[in-house]
Amino acid sequence: MASEKHFGSQTRVALVGSERKPMVAAPVAVAVSPAAAEIDNTPITVSVIVRRKSPIDKEKLGTAAGRMTRDEFEAQHGAAPDSVALVEAFAKEFGLTSEVAAESGRRTIFLTGTREQMERAFNVALADKVIDGTSYRVREGAIYLPAQLSGHIEAVLGLDNRPQARPHFRVRAQKAGAPAPQAAAANDGSFTPVQVGQLYGFPATATGAGETIGIIELGGGYKEADLTTYFGSLGQKVPAVTAVLVDGGKNAPTNANSADGEVMLDIEVSAAVAPGAKIVVYFTPNTDQGFTDAISQAVHDTTNSPGVVSISWGGPESSWTAQSMTALDSACQAAAALGVTITVAAGDDGSTDGVTDGANHTDFPASSPHVLGCGGTKLVAANGSITSEVVWNETAANEGAGGGGVSNVFPLPSWQSGSAVPAPTVAGGGRGVPDVAGDADPVSGYQVRVDGKDMVIGGTSAVAPLWAGLIALANTHNGGTAGFINPALYAAGVNACRDITEGNNGGFTAGPGWDACTGQGSPVGAGVIAAIASVTAKRN
């Protein structure tokens, strides 16, 4: 293909879904003046995601016919060789170095070059803008590719490194004179993760032995000393926790007011309810590139092989480019095919998801139809039993509300067709969020330890690792990995989930059956384990 060496002379075509709108409104972005900033010669690495050899049959996901080994997946759905060859030739012509991800299933080629080289290669203008006091590299408009690459590239991520997502946790306000969380126990409405698991019927003697829980973090860090102290207070063995660094991410703990609260909440909740499970934390930068690469790496990680991945970060669908959502959702499809369950927090800002345009918005990646979206409740208990559980909504006290609604991007999946999901506001949407729920109100939050401080934290960030821990228990009990469990959970109904019928999250109200506040409801531990046994692929 001699023409491969003449990409520079070809007509340029916009990469579908790559358009970025001009930056307006909050967060206020201020351009960095040329006089105040020297030309940045720091190399830029972008992730180019190429097409699959053949599409995944999404209707088979969640069934035995939809499960495959890694070798089968790469043979059928790995990177198309001709697409890889074209991208490598393109990179060479524009002076970019290229490195193909070792796992063909990731379909990712990392291209590295200077800012000027990237601008020429992708026909974009990169600018420095200050957002909330930090300078970022941003672009506006579309990415333009040589015509010969059209159809071969799904996404180009990393040209723009502005923050993409936010953590979904809420710290409970400390009342004057209130006891320390670890000493408070039942008398202040908060719980240890173990107590929450007991209330939801997680089997008392079950463990996560032999399982690995992956956790995606876009910031923050953990300290071993905190884990030792915390799990000692629970009377549990300290879990084995490993940090995997993606795209230059770091395990960088600072203070209790930072994203460390997210990291520690995720580790402590998931490990406490699934004792014996290994925890692998994938740290990555808070960009659309970092987010997607971390999920992709976790799903295809043959060293640690997590059977379930917990995600407590996200942002309104309207804040993502279409190519970013397509790429991240594709990684979640791969997870479903390979038997990896992904649990995702549905958001902490009610039905608007924090957007101030007066409309309802769902949070992504919780709105992906290939993950288990996790909403929030307020849990009240006495004498070891639940006495009340309603939709989490503390907006009047400025302490958040559970996210949920109807996707404007992803259509209604077949396994939700009988759930009376409200109609989407735009054509093409329809997927209802969340799928399930759990205790998330900071008033009835989780007692955790962050950077030497005992705290009570809530948010749907706690629900994703809670469900991840339960799925780890199920995988151990059932002798395999459950993978994509949504069809099985919806089919099980009240046998697997406790229906929440009271409360609202702003735009939606709870009622019998599925609703856009709490989905199918909170977990019935033993029922969930039984419900997903039929879709669990046994280990050899």
Q: Rounded distance, CA 199 to CA 178, Å?
A: 24
Which of 278, 182, 285, 202 lies closest to 238 in space, CA to CA? 278
To 5 degrees, how large is the angle CA 515–CA 519–CA 523? 140
What is the C-alpha to C-alpha distance for residues 172 and 207, in angstroms, rounded to an integer? 29
Rounded-to-integer distance, Cα 388 and Cα 379, Å: 6
Query: Taking Cα atoms as reference points, which of 274, 240, 517, 512 lies closest to residue 405?
Result: 517
DSSP strands (E only) in 97-211: 97-100, 108-113, 127-131, 134-138, 144-146, 153-157, 166-167, 170-171
The C-alpha atoms of residue 17 and residue 325 are separated, in whole angstroms, by 9
The C-alpha atoms of residue 117 and residue 114 are separated, in whole angstroms, by 5
Please check whether residue 80 is in contact with residue 50, taking contact to mean a CB–CB distance below 8 angstroms. yes
- One-letter amino acid of 320: W
Strand-pairing partners, residue 92, are none
Compute the Cα dihedral for 498, 166, 48, 280 and give only its sign: negative
Is 4 marked active-site?
A: no
What sign does the dihedral 215-218-235-443 (CA atoms) show?
negative
Closest CA to 343 of 167, 466, 202: 466
**Residue 38 bears catalytic tag:** no
187 class by beta-carbon count within 10 Å (0-12 exposed, 13-18 middle, 19+ buried): exposed
DSSP states along 49-109: EEPBSS---GGGTTSGGG---HHHHHHHHSB-HHHHHHHHHHHHHTT-EEEE-SSGGG-EE
**3 state SS of 281:** strand
Residue type, 33: S
The residue type of 175 is K
User: Which of 413, 381, 415 lies closest to 490, judged by CA?
Assistant: 415
**Catalytic residue chosen out of the listed positions 310, 461, 499, 515:** 461
Q: Among residues 188, 211, 266, 301, which one is catalytic?
A: 266
Annotated catalytic residue: which of 154, 217, 247, 262? Answer: 262
User: Percentages helix, strand, coil for the chain, rounded to the nearest 5?
Assistant: 30, 25, 40
Residue 27: is the preceding peptide bond cis (ω within 30°)?
A: yes
Task: Give the DSSP letter of residue 17.
Answer: T
Residue/partner pairs of 171-177 with CB below 8 Å, 24 or more apart? 171/261, 171/442, 171/455, 171/456, 171/457, 172/399, 172/442, 172/443, 172/445, 172/455, 172/456, 172/457, 172/458, 173/397, 173/399, 173/442
Active site residue 262: yes
Residues 492 and 527: their CA atoms lie apart, in Å, by 8
- Known catalytic residues? 262, 266, 461
